[in-house]
């Protein structure tokens, strides 16, 4: 099982810079849309559009992985549940290509069926350029979430339990979020406001995902003393701001 890019590729889109020799040039013009895919139980396929906005040819590889979460965080394993066609492409300047995402097995079904999660990795492949440049060049890499809905469910939803734990060194807070629902939770814009009205932005962007029947942990960049007087967290969950019910570690009091 592969670690999901040291847990960072749990974001909707990841763009990584590769250091290349000056004799190679990668046109950093690879674009992908949409940035996430959801397949209803009745759907057998969906699609991504790859485009090249640079002045050079772009070569890219598309791979599909099953996406799971365990105590070490996000994990990827090669999967045949979804297929990408074609898996390798060449795009001329200004050209676009439709990539079909094809379901190769039955959707989740049965009592208590959960949404299935996958990741599509789109990687730009370095090629020699007709117009060599000097210096550092960039290759684009995208990690896109894909969710497959179970049979008989109109809409999946997360059900989260939140806890904070003081780390053994007494200097950091661990946030633990358990999802017992049948759908994923996308968490972003995490902040905390104490009872005196002092607000602190903990993570302004994407915090991460919590998949169904999974637990995720994050070490928060905030002083434990801020929790002593009590207060509340705020977070964007699947695009909606919420105030979660968080069980505070009693040792912080």
| DSSP track, 17-46 | -----TT-B----EEEE-S-EEE-TT--EE
Domain 160-252 has CATH 2.60.40: yes
CA distance 53 to 3: 31
Q: What is the mean pLDDT of residues 111-138?
A: 79
Q: What is the mean pLDDT of residues 49-67?
A: 94
Grade residue 31 by pLDDT with cuts at 50, 70 and 90. very high
> Distance from CA of residue 181 to its chain's centroid?
18
pTM: 0.84
Q: What is the mean pLDDT of residues 150-160?
A: 91
pLDDT at 111: 77
pLDDT higher than 50, residue 29: yes
CA distance 56 to 197: 54
Domain ranges of the chain: 2-148, 160-252
**pLDDT per position as a tens digit, 130-140:** 666 555 567 88
User: Do 2-148 and 160-252 come out as alike in CATH topology?
Assistant: yes
Class of domain 2-148: mainly beta
């Amino acid at each position: 099982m592969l670690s999901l890019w040291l847990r960072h590729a749990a974001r909707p889109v990841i763009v990584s810079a590769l250091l290349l020799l000056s004799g190679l040039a990668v046109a950093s013009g690879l674009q992908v849309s949409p940035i996430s895919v959801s397949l209803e139980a009745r759907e057998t396929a969906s699609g991504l559009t790859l485009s090249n906005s640079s002045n050079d040819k772009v070569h890219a590889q598309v791979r599909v992985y099953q996406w799971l979460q365990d105590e070490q965080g996000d994990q990827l394993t090669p999967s045949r549940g979804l297929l990408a066609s074609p898996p390798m492409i060449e795009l001329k300047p200004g050209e676009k290509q439709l990539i079909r995402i094809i379901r190769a097995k039955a959707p989740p079904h049965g009592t208590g069926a959960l949404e299935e999660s996958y990741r599509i990795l789109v990687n730009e492949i370095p090629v020699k350029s007709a117009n060599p440049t000097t210096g550092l060049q960039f290759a684009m890499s995208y990690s896109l979430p894909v969710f497959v809905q179970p049979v008989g469910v109109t809409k999946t939803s997360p059900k989260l339990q939140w806890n904070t734990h003081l780390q053994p060194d007494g200097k950091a807070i661990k946030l633990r979020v358990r999802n017992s629902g049948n759908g994923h939770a996308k968490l972003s814009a995490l902040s905390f406001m104490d009872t005196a009205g002092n607000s602190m932005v903990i993570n302004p962007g994407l915090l991460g995902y919590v998949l169904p029947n999974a637990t995720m942990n994050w070490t928060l960049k905030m002083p434990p003393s801020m929790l002593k007087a009590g207060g509340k967290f705020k977070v964007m969950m699947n695009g909606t701001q919420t105030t979660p019910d968080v069980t505070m570690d009693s040792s912080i009091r």
